[in-house]
Structure 1
Amino acid sequence: MRRIGFLGLGNMGLPMARRLAQAGYEVLAWNRTPKEAPGLTLVPTPREAARTGLVLSMLADDAATEAVLPEILEGLPEGGLHIALSTLGVPYSRSLVARHREAGRRYLAAPVFGRPEAAAAGELRIVVAGDPGAVAEARPLLEALGREVYVVGEEPHQAHAVKLGGNFLIAAMLEALAEAYVLVEKNGVERRAFYEVVRGFFRSPVYENYGRILLERRFSPPGFRLRLGLKDVRLIHQAGDSTATPLPLAHLLLDRLLEGVARGLGEEDWTALLEVVEGHAGIQTP
């Protein structure tokens, strides 16, 4: 049984770590705040998890990753591999390559698409970029976590660029779906009837899943918090600014999500964006 390290047992990290344990790995797991984690071996520091020689991180953002990076680099043995599963900024991801190389360690980016229920079922979609040898080493773990693994390049930041591009599309879809629900309702059409049309016409698991969440107003418990959606849209802007890429739609999404946080929705699921759209249309939410 191979021992691996896992950092971050949040909404996504815990089911992912447990999925790896179910696949036959001995998982030495660390979380910033202690929590119950059946099936995992909890360790007191990121350094101890990294001593396994292969450590995966599923942390909230660049800052959370940076906070544990010194311990990752100290704990990993020479040639050890760090796999970042989180959504990170493109400039930060670029910097991690050099810092791992200088320390004699390896770094692979493998951010994931999917919500907690997909993580628990091993049905994530995973975007990977990095050295082909590291990709080959990581593939068995990634295939235990995801239904599909997409290799998009040999530079780790490329995977994070793809992840941000995908999250941009999801956020834009949420805004469009929310606006469409409000539009049809104010014209006398039940939202459920519209949802059935969307589900049949678009035939996309993303539209179907998010459309149902919006319809049922399942904003809590959150699968992905609205404040983290705001963080990702800011990272999308950062990636655009660093490459002189105009992103006018992303500016609208930034304003919408920022308003959601201002309204106290930051800890709700990011589908609570619907309440912001309804408020602008004069619809009182329950």
Structure 2
Amino acid sequence: METIGFIGTGNLGYPIVENLLKAGYGVSVYNRTREKALPLQQLGAVLVNSPAEAVVQGGIVMSLVSDDKAIIAIAGDALVKALGAGGIHVSMSTISPDTSRILAAHHLEEGVQYVAAPVFARPEAAAAKVGTAVISGNDAAKARIRPLLEAGFAKNIFDLGDDAGSANVLKLIGNFMIAGAIEMMAESFALAEKNKVDPRVVYEMLTTTLFASPIFRNYGAMIVDRKFTGDPSFSAALGLKDLNLVLETAARSYTPMPLAQLVQSRLTTVLAKDTKDADWIALAMGALEDAGLK
């Protein structure tokens, strides 16, 4: 099996690299904070000191970083030239569709294919390889990386065609819908509690019948348990970044999204209160507090 470069081993990248190593791939890892990647070295990963050092000519590098600024910083000339003709950059980050399109064009100047493959999975789902990938880019490149996505985290893969930005549009839609579901559940459970109906019974009934899906089941439990802070798998700051991207994309395409504006405001309020250890589920606090609940 070929050696894969991997850039960004945060909460989500870490279990993906772990799975790739278990599947027998060699993995060269670059993480901005080297110490956080040290346990992967004990599992067989090779730690390197720059993004360009993680790749080989004509090889594959996978990146999973926090935002547009981070992906632009790592995907510069050094990385692209190191990959060279026949190389593939698999960008798994949640970023602007326009950024993906710009990066794809820049990569192609050196004969490198850029594939957008954002991840739908919390860390535990990635570790269990039950996540979902949405991919867009060159067909041959997508075929070559598919086994890596399956080995790393993906139970399902959806192909959005050759426009590099399309997968990122779908990723933003998905994250908006999750945020909308959180707001809807928070308002509903608040209504139940204010009317002396046990929210836990409401949760059990709805998430095992009308809304029987992992999103409603998992996030609903966190709302009922008031599990808003601690060790976030997906921080409120990243959630706000994604809602900002949703609304930027909506503005460019003249798409009104009033619910997206509401959940953006909820997340802004969470961060305004300096809740640094908040998961993005904490946006649910807004509806509870509006109803006079704690």
The TM-score, its normalising length taken from structure 1, stands at: 0.96
Query: 1:103, CA displacement in angstroms?
Result: 2.4
Tell me what 1:29 maps to: 29
Post-superposition offset of 1:277:
2.1
What are the Cα deviations for residues 107-130 of structure 1, in whole angstroms up to 9, with x where unaligned?
A: 000001110001111111110111
Corresponding residue number in structure 2 for 1:65? 71
1:225 alignment partner, one of 235, 246, 270: 235
Structure 1 contact 125–146 (Cα < 8 Å) conserved:
yes
1:276 equivalent to 2:286? Answer: yes
The percentage of counterpart residues that share the same residue type is 41
Q: How does 1:178-217 map to 2 (within 5 A)?
A: 178-201=186-209, 202-217=211-226
In 2: Cα distance, 1:29 partner to 1:217 partner: 36
Tell me how far 1:104 sits from its aligned partner.
2.0
User: Contact 2:8–2:63 (CA<8 Å) still a contact in 1?
Assistant: yes
What is the rounded CA distance, in whole Å, between the counterparts of 1:92 and 1:267 in structure 2? 28
- 1:12 aligns to 2:19 (yes or no): no
Shift of 1:265: 2.6
2:55, 2:83 within 8 Å by CA — same for their partners in 1?
Answer: yes
Note the C-alpha offset of 1:263: 1.4
Mind listing any 5+ residue stretches in structure 1 that lack a counterpart? Answer: none
Q: Does 1:151 align with 2:159?
A: yes
CA distance in 2, matches of 1:153, 1:77: 23
Instruction: Identify which range, 133-142 or 47-56, moves more after superposition.
Output: 47-56
TM-score (norm 2): 0.93
Q: Distance in 2 between matches of 1:245 and 1:254?
A: 16
**Match of 2:222, as an amino acid?**
I
Distance 2:265 2:62 in 1: 33
User: SS of the counterpart of 1:156?
Assistant: coil
How does 1:108-187 map onto structure 2 within 5 Å? 108-144=115-151, 145-187=153-195
Amino acid paired to 1:48: E
Quote the residue 1:263 is aligned against.
273
Q: How many Å apart are 1:51 and its aligned residue?
A: 2.4
Counterpart residue type for residue 100 of structure 1: H
The range that moved more, 158-167 or 251-260, is: 251-260
Q: Is the 8 A contact 2:267 2:282 kept in 1?
A: no
Aligned equivalents of 1:76, 1:216: Cα separation in 2: 47
Q: Structure 2: which 5+ runs fail to align?
A: none
Residue 266 of structure 1 deviates from its aligned partner by 4.5
209-218 vs 225-234, which deviates more? 209-218
In structure 1, what is the equivalent of residue 62 of structure 2?
56
CA contact (8 A) 1:30 1:45 kept: yes
Partners of 1:217 and 1:55 lie apart in 2 by: 39
